[in-house]
Amino acid sequence: MKMNRNQKRRVMGVCALMMALAALLAGCSGNSAFFEKDDVNYGTLTKAEALETLDAYLSKINVTENKPILDISSGETIAEADEIPDIGNYPLSVEGGGEIDVEIFSSTEKAGSGKDGWINEVAADFNRRGYEVDGQSVSVSIRPIASGLTLDYIVTGKHVPDAFSPANALWAKMIEDGGVRITEVTDRLCGNTAGILMEKSVYKEFTAAHGDVTLENVTDAVLDGEIILGYTNPYASSTGLNMLTATLKAFDPENPLSEKAAGTLREFQAQVPPVAFTTAQMRESAKKGLVDVMIMEYQAYINEPTLADYVFTPIGVRHDSPVYVFEGTTDTKRQALNLFVDYCMEKDAQELAGDYGFNAHEDYAGQDPGMSGAQLLAAQSIWKENKSGGKPAMAVFVADVSGSMEGTPITELKRSLRNASQYIGDGNLIGLISYANDVYVDLPIAEFSGKQPAYFNGAVTNLSAGGGTATYDAVLVALKMLLDKKEEVPDARLMIFVLSDGEANEGFTFEKMAPVAAALGIPLHTIGYNANLEELSRMSAINEGLSINANESNVVYQIKNVFNANL
């Protein structure tokens, strides 16, 4: 049955972070996923029954409140380049074997799989053709990476490729602002646009009430509570960044970074669900009917049959996949890159691009927000400060300190939490519990300002591993902590982060905990350290939570991005 808007808003409350850019999420591709509710029957508890059951369970759990430990030292702050995972976490989609090989970082809508793999197919064919420069064989290697992560790799110098092909030109401006010299090779490999995607019945109602579908009209309708709009994380996604800059421009055409624009963005964010990490998650939200208006690239839209009942209207800058070369790239590699760009522009390659959903809406000229790289970075900061629409996030971290976490897992857990805590925004509320055989409240929930960050770092530093694993007891305690604190902060967005290896051998079982968590609707996001990912994924699936496989080389970056997007 089709949900009305009030029903959709209730669903948004239940799975608030199901759509959380990300990123995202930025930089989490290949290592994280959102999990939808599976076919397991979690029971039919009402909220009142769940609260009663929770209290009954808690009466059987041993909970110790540890005295908070104040740690005013700065602790270990990891250099930004060291936060970024080794490049091997993002393998090549095409590996060249030429004497002159050009490594290209590519946006994932053209370097992924299936209909998202246009540049892979063209590159593989190019490599078979036997092109040469100065008598040496030429090839290209393609590495699919989200644009936000690419920005981090390049600006920090962690890994600089020979060339870069993002979805749009906004990322190049930010790279230049980071002090990296780049040169445009072409402003277009294949045509694409971001756009407003509106369900047909909503489109009919909208145009009858507002006229043309424009970003200004859409944002007005969102502010008035008439429609529910979803978009992706502007720190990770080209579409999300496009949406953010175009929206700020609509809020104040003269100065999109003004207090007026920021204030209107805060009101706007109060009316929309949290951002999706990826376009794939946005597609899933559309399938489920959780949003009736969203921002998506045309190429993604046209390749998803379930979106046939939506109408697409282009907005913002064009997404024509420009190509840039970096200062340190040799002359022979530049010549090889030019050969590849020319090959991409040949008739057969462009016809293939059309088959894969590119090169549509050629009459749309695009609308550049006219922002410099520094202004684009400022726009992202404005979004981070206002993304919750004035509603604070309230999170409890549930840290596994059982014996199976001894050694590298507990060391990485502590290291990543302490470093990532610097990315928790002011005004959010944070608590920490740990568990082995029993459950320990190491830090009661409080606003993450004043002494709370120092208490948080002290609690994390004091964690040590040993004993059994009462994972689901700890989750039940965290649920209760959130519900009690919410009485003081009724508009807070609740969430739990379980940091564990996924094992559980003490206390309540998953089957006991799951119906309670499902009825309460608080997302359980899991971060696994050398983990039983199947068990953690099962937990995340209860309320469409995020599950991260945080291996040793990327755990710090993963958690940093989660905090940036949600806290």
Joined tokens for residue 128:
């078979």
Exposure string (b/e) for 83-109, b if CB count within 10 Å is 16 or more?
Answer: bbbebebbebbbbbebebbbbbbbbbb
Q: What is the DSSP string of 314-338?
A: EEEEE----EEEETTS-HHHHHHHH
Q: How far apart are the first and last CA of the chain?
A: 34
- Nearest CA-CA partner of 296 in 322, 275, 268, 325: 275
Q: What are phi and psi of 61, to 5 degrees?
A: -105, 135
Task: Say if strands 193-199 and 293-297 run parallel, antiparallel, or are unpaired.
Answer: antiparallel
Please tell me the distance from the alpha carbon of residue 311 to that of residue 168, in angstroms, as a whole number. Answer: 22
Nearest-angstrom CA–CA distance, 322 and 187: 4
Q: Is the dihedral of CA 226, 227, 228, 232 positive or negative?
A: negative
CA 305 to chain centre: 24
Homologous superfamily (CATH) of 91-190+322-351 is Periplasmic binding protein-like II (3.40.190.10)
pTM assigned to the model: 0.78
CA distance 180 to 58: 55
Same fold, 91-190+322-351 and 193-318: yes
The residue assigned the tokens 């207090």 is: 259
Check residue 134 and give left, alpha or beta (phi > 0: left; psi -120 to 50: alpha).
left
Residue numbers of the chain with a pLDDT score lower than 50: 1-39, 552
The CATH number that domain 193-318 falls under is: 3.40.190.10
Structural domain boundaries in the chain: 34-68+391-566, 91-190+322-351, 193-318
| 283, two tokens | 């597609």
Locate the DSSP E strands across 221-322. Answer: 229-230, 293-297, 310-318
Question: Contact at 8 Å (CB) between 139 and 127?
Answer: yes
What would the two tokens of residue 216 be? Answer: 């200004």
For residue 174, what is the enclosing H or E element? helix 170-177
CB 496 within 8 A of CB 396: yes
- List, as one string, the DSSP characters of 15-72: TTTTT--EEEETT-TTTEEE----S-------HHHHHHHHHHHHTTS-EEEPPP----
Express each pLDDT in 205-229 by its tens digit: 999 999 999 999 999 999 998 988 8
Contact, 522 vs 479, CB < 8 A?
A: yes
What is the second-level CATH architecture of the domain 34-68+391-566?
A: 3-Layer(aba) Sandwich (3.40)
Using alpha carbons, list the distances in angstroms from residue 389 to 96, 148, 262, 272, 383.
47, 23, 10, 9, 10
Residue 466 CA to residue 362 CA, distance in Å, equals 62
Whether the Cβ atoms of residue 129 and residue 98 lie closer than 8 Å to each other: no
- 556 C-beta neighbours (distance < 10 Å), count: 22
Helix boundaries (H) for 421-525: 452-461, 471-486, 510-520
Which residues are CB-contacts of 135 (< 8 A; sequence separation ≥ 6)? none
Q: Which residues pair with 193 in a beta bridge?
A: 318
3 state SS of 552:
coil
Taking CA atoms, 47 is separated from 14, 52, 504, 516, in Å, by 12, 9, 26, 8
